């Protein structure tokens, strides 16, 4: 079979120094046997030393040596080709890792400032309102205030390995500007050669010009002893301060970044600097090696990380496809055939559609993750669970109100510098026109904050040539909500901002400073709205709102509690029509909870009364261990959800060592949750008293000497089988609906993981290989996860045998009849004479079952409408005869899911 660049199925692997490309090569036969067509790699370019994820790239022109370098990549690809498999690569065009000393481009900018040949690579405002930053960039890398760092001697002037001067702060290297090098050399002038003594005696501008013509590195390497004496003259805080003032950067405490930053970061992370990949020289420098990998057939496609961070995603993606097509014109014969495969990491808002003009194959699957989860929630539980949440926690059950509050907090505490910079840009735009010059900086900033507080999507994409109807609709919703809150006297600024940020066409302005400033401001708004959304929703509200934590995951909107089967079918059909190559994910390296953790929590939507009774009993039981310092009721309620949802299916009460491991995992999740919520504690200022009290509470809940542990185990077992049915259901959906199923590492067994780093723990592939060889698809030992792996393997075998059906086949919902109709999701895929039918059990939490299967009598006379004929169930190899209606009691007698292929 000829391998195509568009995958049949992918397996995502996270690479780091403890799991290298050579390790992955040894696993290729396993993934081939499982039925995967492509491995899907986390970023492989050189990253910060010891990076556990690879998104902090410091050199996009080489494969990370910690992963084995290019030779190891070629060995992996050779193994893949031997199995008719390919490779997809995650790339990071939006930002690079900075800090330390590994990023040569960034270090050059620190040394030469605006005159660096890489100054235009990064999104830096060299003329911000702060006079202290004119011609400089803020370097917020100090762990304490600047003065304290000087006084403590943590900032040291020394010679680096290449012979140059540098400041060393705990291994973070900051080079000296040429003019400050001259200052240090002047101290050593009496002992230098006559030529350098003469240069040091020149006036400062002439001195700098003369030094520019000299090979300083070679000179300093040959005069290290003399220069050490010069360095000693700058050992006092006062002299160091004098020297630091002459740099192209202002070294500062990390906390100053939130208000004073003058360069774009990835979200609010000081060690990730935004790239201007829209500039041709930046694109070429960051993508040249990537194109070589594609041209040589080493990769077949890419995943674009954080596409909404780019200045113009559409232009970038169209260019990327064009240059990849050109680079692939002479790919080797053994490489996969077809067009380059490109998917984007994109969070779609409610009613937002992916841009078809981008020429991508689809998203990375967060939208499907949301849909597959929501359709397994019972809408009837929402009212009772909302009332319970409000009553027990005294927090609002209105997620929209919570989100608005969080957005304002993020703009105030984390992204104030970015908001100030954008407001200043627009204020300068206003001053250029007599009709807008009276709009003050204050009112422009206020209008921006109100719009951003209500923005319904990550961003819009209005560019030089205009905007789309979707852009206008989303921006209009935000303006309408902002207008409802602003005082009447200030509302006119909203119309002005709508003009500037959406309606006006910059291409109508004459080329020059005015047009450039206008476009920078428009782009700046779009690049600010995305991190505002991400930081406020995913990284804040998801840790505050606990109606059901299964609805708080990447790509999800907790305000939408559930999804009807009809809506699920409509979205699946729409994806098949517009983006049949989109990835389908139910677990990722970024998920907040593992796919089966979410599936188990979803069961609570069906038994809200039973859940509330248990929670009230546990709150009374744990009153004795709850300290005045914490946890509060909301954190306690969310903890209970995680305790029962994450409990490993094979963990027994007498296994104290494994229970201790579980305690540590939960405690780590809880600490991160508390800090992300930013209520009682936060990363910027941890409240260790509250965190410690919460950790002791976790330990008390799982103490074998207290009854609470056994309550948790009993309730986890009560919903475990129903949760497993949900897990198998979403697995089947991922494997059968239009799109490309993506398997996150290790999730072929039950995935009861928590947020990272818990979801990036080492995977026991030895156990998975053994289970695949045995091929047991039955429920006899369902708790070990082998049944899930067997379902995956058999469905992927079907995709391998009928690739056109799954890649291009139409999608149609099937009618289910009888009182149990709401407990089934059924559809068919067909292409020419080929046809498969998928049937998945759902919403069975109300049944008291001990294994993930409803007894036949529970189905009664319920049936699904199949075409008449003979069918084979690919998941258990049983053949069934249909006269047009198939009884679910027969179809789902051995497994809670079925995939049928028509025989005749």
- pLDDT of 787-808, one tens digit each? 999 999 999 999 999 999 999 9
Most confident of 125-129, 524-528, 875-879: 524-528
Dist CA 724 CA 841 (whole Å): 11
The bridge status of strand 249-253 relative to strand 172-175 is unpaired
pLDDT class of 622 with cuts at 50, 70, 90:
very high
Average pLDDT over residues 504-517: 75
What confidence tens digit (pLDDT) does each residue in 306-332 have?
999 999 999 999 999 999 999 999 999
pLDDT class of 194 with cuts at 50, 70, 90:
low
What confidence tens digit (pLDDT) does each residue in 250-295 have?
999 999 999 999 999 999 999 999 999 999 999 999 999 999 999 9
pLDDT class of 201 with cuts at 50, 70, 90:
low
Closest CA to 93 of 295, 313, 358, 297: 313
Dist CA 728 CA 724 (whole Å): 6
Q: Count of alpha carbons within 13 Å of 439, Cβ hemisphere only?
A: 28
| Contact of 43 with 71, CB cutoff 8 Å | no
| Contact of 373 with 730, CB cutoff 8 Å | yes
| Contact of 262 with 128, CB cutoff 8 Å | yes
Dist CA 2 CA 462 (whole Å): 41
The pLDDT assigned to 205 comes to 62
The pLDDT assigned to 216 comes to 60
Strands of the sheet containing 165-169, edge to edge, are 155-159, 165-169, 172-175
pLDDT at 78 over 70: yes
The pLDDT assigned to 33 comes to 98
The pLDDT assigned to 783 comes to 96
Which residue has tokens 């090098």?
A: 181
What's the start-to-end Cα distance of the chain, in Å? 25
What confidence tens digit (pLDDT) does each residue in 431-445 have?
999 999 999 999 999
3-state secondary structure 705-721: CCHHHHHHHHHHHHHHH
pLDDT at 203 over 90: no
The torsion angles phi and psi of 739, rounded to 5 degrees, stand at 130, 180
Dist CA 543 CA 816 (whole Å): 38
Dist CA 237 CA 250 (whole Å): 15
| Contact of 640 with 756, CB cutoff 8 Å | no
3-state secondary structure 447-513: HHHHHHHCCCCCCCCCECCECCHHHHHHHHHHHHHHHHHCCHHHCHHHHHHHHHHHHCCHHHCCCCH
| Contact of 369 with 553, CB cutoff 8 Å | yes
pLDDT at 193 over 60: no
Dist CA 183 CA 209 (whole Å): 13
Predicted TM-score of the model (pTM) = 0.95
pLDDT class of 213 with cuts at 50, 70, 90:
low
What confidence tens digit (pLDDT) does each residue in 732-760 have?
999 999 999 999 999 999 999 999 999 99
Dist CA 106 CA 273 (whole Å): 9
C-alpha dist (Å) from residue 58 to 12, 101, 105, 345, 765? 22, 9, 8, 21, 31
Residue 163: is the preceding peptide bond cis (ω within 30°)? no
The pLDDT assigned to 904 comes to 77
The pLDDT assigned to 602 comes to 98
Dist CA 852 CA 844 (whole Å): 9
Closest CA to 419 of 274, 307, 521: 521
Strand partners, 302: 89, 342
pLDDT at 23 over 60: yes
Average pLDDT over residues 468-486: 96
pLDDT at 30 over 80: yes
pLDDT class of 122 with cuts at 50, 70, 90:
very high
Q: What percent of the chain has pLDDT over 70?
A: 95
Q: What tokens does 77 get?
A: 């690809």
The pLDDT assigned to 507 comes to 61
Dist CA 600 CA 723 (whole Å): 4
């Amino acid at each position: 079979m000829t391998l195509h660049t568009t995958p049949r199925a992918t397996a995502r692997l996270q690479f780091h120094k403890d799991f290298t490309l050579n390790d992955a090569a040894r696993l290729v036969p396993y993934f081939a046997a499982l039925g995967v067509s492509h491995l899907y790699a986390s970023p492989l370019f050189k990253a910060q030393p010891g990076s556990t994820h690879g998104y902090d790239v410091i050199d996009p022109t080489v494969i990370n040596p910690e992963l084995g370098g290019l030779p190891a990549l070629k060995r992996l690809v050779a193994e893949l080709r031997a199995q008719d498999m390919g490779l997809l690569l995650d790339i990071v065009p939006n930002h690079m890792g900075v800090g330390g000393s590994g990023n040569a481009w960034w270090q050059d900018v620190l040394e030469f400032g605006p005159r660096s040949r890489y100054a235009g690579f990064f999104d830096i405002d060299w003329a911000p309102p702060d006079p202290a930053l004119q011609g400089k960039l803020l370097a917020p890398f100090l762990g304490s205030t600047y003065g304290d760092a000087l006084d403590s001697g943590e900032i040291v002037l020394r010679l680096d390995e290449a012979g140059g001067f540098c400041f060393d702060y705990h291994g973070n290297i900051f080079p000296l500007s040429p003019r400050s090098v001259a200052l240090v050399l002047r101290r050593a002038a009496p002992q230098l050669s006559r030529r350098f003594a003469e240069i040091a005696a020149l006036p400062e501008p002439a001195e700098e010009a003369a030094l520019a013509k000299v090979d300083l590195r070679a000179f300093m390497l040959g005069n290290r002893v003399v220069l050490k004496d010069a360095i000693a003259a700058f050992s006092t805080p006062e002299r160091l301060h004098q020297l630091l003032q002459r740099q192209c950067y202002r070294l500062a405490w990390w906390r100053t970044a939130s208000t004073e930053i003058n360069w774009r970061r990835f979200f609010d992370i000081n060690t990730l600097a935004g790239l201007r990949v829209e500039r041709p020289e930046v694109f070429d420098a960051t993508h040249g090696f990537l194109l070589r990998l594609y041209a040589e057939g080493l990769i077949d496609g890419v995943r674009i990380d954080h596409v909404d961070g780019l200045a113009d995603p559409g232009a970038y993606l169209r260019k990327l496809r064009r240059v990849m097509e050109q680079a692939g014109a002479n790919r080797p014969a053994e490489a996969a055939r077809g067009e380059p495969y490109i998917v984007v990491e994109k969070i779609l808002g409610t009613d937002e559609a992916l841009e078809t003009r981008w020429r991508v194959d689809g998203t990375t699957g967060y939208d499907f993750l949301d849909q597959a989860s929501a359709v397994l929630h019972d809408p009837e539980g929402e009212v009772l669970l909302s009332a319970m949440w409000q009553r027990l926690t005294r927090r609002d059950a209105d997620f929209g109100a919570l989100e608005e509050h969080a957005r304002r907090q993020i703009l105030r505490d984390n992204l104030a510098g970015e908001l100030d910079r954008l407001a200043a840009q627009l204020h300068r735009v206003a001053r250029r026109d007599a009709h807008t010059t009276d709009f003050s900086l204050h009112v422009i900033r206020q209008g921006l904050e109100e719009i951003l507080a209500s923005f319904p999507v990550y961003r819009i994409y209005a560019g030089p040539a205009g905007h789309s109807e979707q852009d206008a609709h989303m921006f209009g919703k935000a303006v309408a909500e902002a207008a409802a809150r602003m005082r009447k006297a200030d509302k006119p600024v909203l119309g002005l901002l709508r003009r500037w940020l959406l309606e006006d066409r910059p291409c109508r302005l004459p080329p020059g400073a005015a047009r450039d400033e206008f476009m920078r401001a428009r782009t700046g708004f779009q690049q600010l709205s995305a991190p505002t959304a991400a930081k406020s929703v995913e990284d804040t509200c998801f840790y505050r709102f606990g109606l059901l934590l299964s609805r708080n995951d990447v790509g999800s909107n907790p305000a939408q509690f559930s999804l009807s089967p009809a809506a699920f079918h409509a979205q699946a059909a729409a994806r098949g029509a517009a983006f049949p190559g989109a990835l389908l994910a139910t677990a990722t390296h970024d998920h907040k909870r593992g796919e089966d953790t979410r599936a188990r929590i979803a069961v609570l939507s069906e038994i809200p009364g039973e859940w509330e009774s248990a929670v009230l009993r546990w709150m009374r039981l744990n009153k004795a261990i709850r300290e005045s310092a914490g946890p509060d009721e909301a954190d306690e309620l969310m903890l209970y959800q995680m305790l029962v949802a994450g409990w490993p299916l094979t963990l027994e009460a007498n296994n104290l060592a494994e229970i201790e491991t579980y305690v540590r995992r939960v405690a780590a999740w809880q600490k991160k949750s508390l800090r992300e919520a930013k209520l009682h504690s936060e990363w910027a200022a941890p409240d260790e008293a509250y965190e410690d009290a919460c950790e002791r509470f976790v330990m008390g809940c799982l103490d074998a000497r207290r009854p609470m542990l056994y309550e948790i185990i009993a309730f986890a077992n009560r919903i475990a089988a129903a949760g497993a049915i949900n897990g198998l259901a979403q697995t089947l959906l991922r494997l059968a609906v239009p799109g490309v199923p993506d398997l996150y590492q290790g999730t072929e067994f039950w995935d009861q993981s928590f947020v990272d780093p818990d979801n990036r723990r080492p995977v026991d592939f030895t156990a998975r290989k053994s289970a695949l060889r045995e091929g047991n698809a039955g429920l006899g030992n369902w708790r070990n996860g082998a049944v899930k792996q067997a379902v995956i393997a058999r469905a992927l075998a079907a995709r391998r045998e009928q690739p056109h059906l799954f890649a291009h086949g139409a999608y149609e919902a099937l009618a289910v009849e009888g009182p149990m109709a709401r407990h089934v999701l059924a559809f068919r895929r067909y292409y020419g004479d080929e046809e498969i039918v998928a049937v998945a059990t759902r919403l069975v939490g109300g049944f008291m079952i001990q294994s993930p299967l409803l007894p036949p009598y529970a189905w009664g006379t319920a049936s699904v409408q199949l075409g008449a004929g003979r069918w084979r169930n690919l998941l258990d190899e049983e053949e069934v005869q249909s006269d047009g209606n198939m009884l679910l009691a027969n179809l789902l007698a051995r497994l809670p899911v079925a995939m049928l292929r028509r025989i005749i």
